Copies of this chain bind each other. A is one copy, B any other.
Amino acid sequence: MPRRKLEPGLEPNRRSELLRAAARLFVEKGFDATTTRDIADAVGMRSGSPFYHFRSKQELLKAAMVEGLDAGYARLLAAIDGLADPEQRLRVLVRTHLGTLLEGECPAPMLLGETRALDAAAHAEIAAAFDRYQVPWQATLDELAHAGRISSAAPPLRLLLFGMLNWSKHWYRADGKLSLDELADSAVALLLGAPPGARGER
């Protein structure tokens, strides 16, 4: 017996398959334009079956966002592990974030606009996940300010930075001339200005 098709719920994979498909479709077509039938089709289920795994379409969105953000957070921590220089760390944060956003399967920040449909409790869970995600960013900006590389690390700076990165989802084309590395460099250069020692250490 190769693999029982029955015994639902014992395949934890199905849940995350649904989540990934939902995230992709929500980004592609929007929350409202994506039907639960689309999501079911994408993973080879029948129309009613997603509701065995999730109570509602809203919960699918909430889970996709929270789990997507937490996965991105883990990727961030792994990428900056051991990097002591805040400038280098900023560069890695930016590049990793762009990778998640533009190449990854669950560009959670792009779904921010879709959360209109969610209730207050879901908003709170998502906000908490965003807060976690932003911790290493703010820490790095604080260090840069302390080192005099930027004039201030007040909150608007972090928000403007995320804005300039996240908006790239609207215009960046993977098949264009601009590579992700170059885009990351442009963003870091915009934030830090030209390197103080002319051509920098890297």
Which residue in chain B gives the minimum CB-CB distance to A186? B156
Residues of A in contact with B, size category? 35 or more
Complex contact B168–A186 (CB within 8 A): no
Contacts A33-B32, A151-B189 given: A164-B171 contact, CB under 8 Å?
Answer: no
Do A178 and B156 touch (CB < 8 A)?
yes
Write out, one digit per residue, whether chain A residues 86-119 have a CB within 8 A of any chain B CB (1) or not (0): 0000000000000000000000000011101100
A-B contact list, 24 entries, CB within 8 Å: A30-B30, A31-B32, A32-B32, A33-B116, A113-B170, A151-B189, A156-B182, A156-B183, A156-B186, A157-B190, A159-B167, A160-B164, A160-B167, A160-B187, A161-B164, A162-B167, A163-B163, A163-B164, A163-B168, A164-B167, A166-B167, A167-B167, A190-B190, A193-B193
Residues of chain B contacted by A194 (CB below 8 angstroms):
151
Give Cα A182 to B31, complex, Å.
34
Residues of A within 8 A of B (CB): 28-33, 112-114, 116-117, 151, 154, 156-157, 159-168, 170-171, 178, 182-183, 186-187, 189-191, 193-194
